[in-house]
Amino acid sequence: MPLITLGLSGSLNHDPSAALFIDGKLVAAAEEERFIRDKHAKGKMPLEATRFCLDYAGISADQIDIVAVPYAEIDLSTAARWHYARRYWYAPDRALDALFNGNRRYRRYVGYIKAMCETVGINWDKIQFESLEHHLAHASSAYHLSGFKEKTAIMGIDGKGEYATTFFGYGENGKIHKIKEFYDPDSLGGVYGAMTEYLGFEMLDGEFKVMGMAPYGDPDKYDFSRLIALEETSNGLEFKVNTQLVNVIGTRRYKENGQGYYFSQKLIDWLGPKREGDEIDDPYIDYAASMQKLFEEISLKLMDYYLGDIIKETGKIAFAGGAALNVKLNQKIIARDEVKELFVQPAASDAGTAIGAASYVIAARGIELEKMEHVFLGPEFTNEECISACEHYKTDDAQAVNFEQINEVPKTIAKILADGNPVSWFQGRMEFGPRALGGRSILGCPSVPGVADRINEQIKFRERWRPFCPSMLDTVAPIMLKTDHPAPFMTFTFEVNDGWAEHVPEVLHEDGTARAHAVKESVNPRYYALLKEVEVLTGNGVVLNTSLNRRGEPVVCTPEDALNMFYGSDLQYLIMQDILVTKECCK
C-alpha cells in the first residue's frame, strides 16, 4: 500500500495551506486564501485546501496515514526560549511566558489541527501525527524537493517559527543536519518586515514592494548598520537586532491611530515620519535601497561563514523561508563563482511549510521524493465548467457574458497580445505559491510601449512603479540572460544581455535586470505554444507576465473568480481554457 501523507500549515501563522503526497510524489497543494478569497488568510485553518487535495487525488479521509505540521514543541533545555526571554527583558510578561509556558501556542495549534482533521473526516486516533520544527520544515521543502544528490548547503531565513528565525545546515543522503540557528528577536526577516511597515506597506505582504522600490534609491546615502550588529564571538558569527529601533514588542512599539507597529518611536525620531501613499519619493526610496543592501550584506556574510565550505565542496544550495523570495539576494548568491546551482522552493513562505513537514517525514521513512519540476498543483476546470460560469454570471449592469469557444488558442491570443492588448490567461491547474507561471496570469506584449503602465493603472490597480516579469521560451533564456542558471519559478533576477532592453523594455527593472521565467514545453505545453506564436509575430519569444488578481486580492482560483476580476477591471480579453470572453468594446 502507498504511504499517503497530508501536510498542513495554518492557524498560528499566515498563508495556511495543504499538501498531499502519495509516497514521494506531490500530488496536490493549495493555499487556503484562494478558496476563501482572503489574502494570506491569517489565523485560518486550511480546511478548503485540504478538501481540495483529497478530492483531486481521489483519496478518502480514512486513507490518510500521516498528518504532518510545521510547528513543534521547544524544550526549555534548549537555547531558544532562554534567548527569547533574555532579549525581551523589557516586556516581562512575554519573557516569563516563554520560560514557564513556552509551548502554549503549540498546544493550541495541535487542538486546531485535530478539530480540522475531524471536520474533514480524518480519524485522529488512526493516523500518525508528526510535528516538525518550523525551520526544519522550510529546510525540507527546499532540500528534499531540489533533486540535488550531492551534499547540499541549506539556508532558511524568515520572520520566525516557534522561536528560530534563521537556519543554516546541510543535507546529505536524504538527512538534514543543523549547523546554526538564530532566535527571535534576532531576525533578518523581522527587521525587513519592520522596515516594510515603516515604508508604508503591510508586513508579510509588502516586502516585495520594498524590494521593488529599492532600485530607485541610493543604497549608500544612509547608513542602516545601526539596525543590526554583526560580530564574531566564541560561538561563531553572531548578529543582534537593535530592539531599540526594530523588532520591538509591548510598550516599545510605535502606535498610530490605535495600531501598533514593529518599530519604535526612536526609529521615527531617526528617520522621520513613516511613509504614506503610493508614490516613491525621497527619502523613502533611499531607505528601501539601504535596507535591501544591509539585508543582502548580512545574509551573504552569514552564508559564507556557516555554509562556505559546503558550497565550495559541491556548489549546491537549497533556500526557503519568506526571505528566499527576495530575488535580488538570490541574484547575488548565484553570482558567486563557487555556486553551481541555487534551488529556491517556489512557495518559500509559510505556505510551503505544508510541503516541508510532509516531505521531511516521508524522507525519514526512506522514501525518495520526486524533484519539484512545476507548481501546477491546484484546481483545474473544463471548458464545460467555464461555459457554465459564463452562462450564470451577471455583470454589474445585468448584461450577459459575451463568450465563444475558439480553436487555435495560442495563435489567437498571440495576435491579441501583439496588437497591444493585455489578456487574462486562465489555463490548466492553478499554481501553488505566489508566482504566476502561466496558469493564472495577466499577459502583455513586452515590446508594446506603455503596456506595463496600463496593466498597473487600469487592471492591477497597484503602484505604478512596480515591475513586471518576463516569461520566455527556454530557448530564448540563454540568449536574453547573462547566465545559464535554471529559472523555472521566477525566483531570481538576472542581468540582461545587450540589445534586449530595446526588444522587451516593459519587463526590465529600474536597474536593468529581469525576474525571468524560462518555460519548458514539457511542463506547460499550451503556454509554450503561446510563446512560440508570440515569437513568430514579434520576433521575441517573451511575454509580460503578472498574477491574475487585483491589488489586495488573492490570485484567482475558479472561473467565477476570473470573471469577477475581469469585470472589476479594464481588461478586455479573458481566455479560460478554450473559452474567450470579451467586453462589448471588443466585438
What domains, with CATH codes, occur in the chain?
4-142+350-364 (3.30.420.40), 164-344 (3.30.420.40), 383-586 (3.90.870.20)
pLDDT at residue 166, rounded to an integer = 98
**Which residue from 55, 20, 13, 49 is spatially nearest to 32, judged by alpha carbons?**
49
The mean per-residue pLDDT over the stretch 398-419 comes to 96
Mapped onto helix, strand or coil, the DSSP state of residue 259 is strand
Q: Which backbone phi and psi does 154 adopt, to 5 degrees?
A: -125, 130
pLDDT at residue 94, rounded to an integer = 96
Structure confidence at residue 585 as a pLDDT band (50, 70, 90): low
Whole-number Å distance between alpha carbons of 496 and 147: 27
Are 209 and 268 in contact by the 8 Å Cβ rule? The answer is no
Q: Is 440 left (phi over 0), alpha (psi -120 to 50) or beta?
A: beta
522: which DSSP letter?
T
Is the confidence at residue 280, as pLDDT, over 90?
Answer: no
pTM passes above 0.85? yes
For residue range 11-69, list pLDDT tens digits in order. 677 899 999 999 999 999 999 999 999 999 999 999 999 999 999 999 999 999 999 99
Count Cα atoms within 13 angstroms, Cβ side, for 302: 27
The mean per-residue pLDDT over the stretch 434-447 comes to 97
The mean per-residue pLDDT over the stretch 478-495 comes to 96
Structure confidence at residue 147 as a pLDDT band (50, 70, 90): very high
Is the confidence at residue 82, as pLDDT, over 90?
Answer: yes
Is the confidence at residue 587, as pLDDT, over 60?
Answer: no
The mean per-residue pLDDT over the stretch 513-540 comes to 98
pLDDT at residue 300, rounded to an integer = 98
For residue range 334-362, list pLDDT tens digits in order. 999 999 999 999 999 999 999 999 999 99
For residue range 121-132, list pLDDT tens digits in order. 999 999 999 999
pLDDT at residue 586, rounded to an integer = 55
**Percentage of the chain modeled with pLDDT above 70:** 99
186 CB-near residues (< 8 Å, 6+ apart): 83, 87, 165, 166, 239, 240, 241, 247
pLDDT at residue 456, rounded to an integer = 86
pLDDT at residue 325, rounded to an integer = 97
Structure confidence at residue 460 as a pLDDT band (50, 70, 90): confident
Are 148 and 363 in contact by the 8 Å Cβ rule? The answer is no
Q: What is the mean pLDDT of the chain?
A: 96
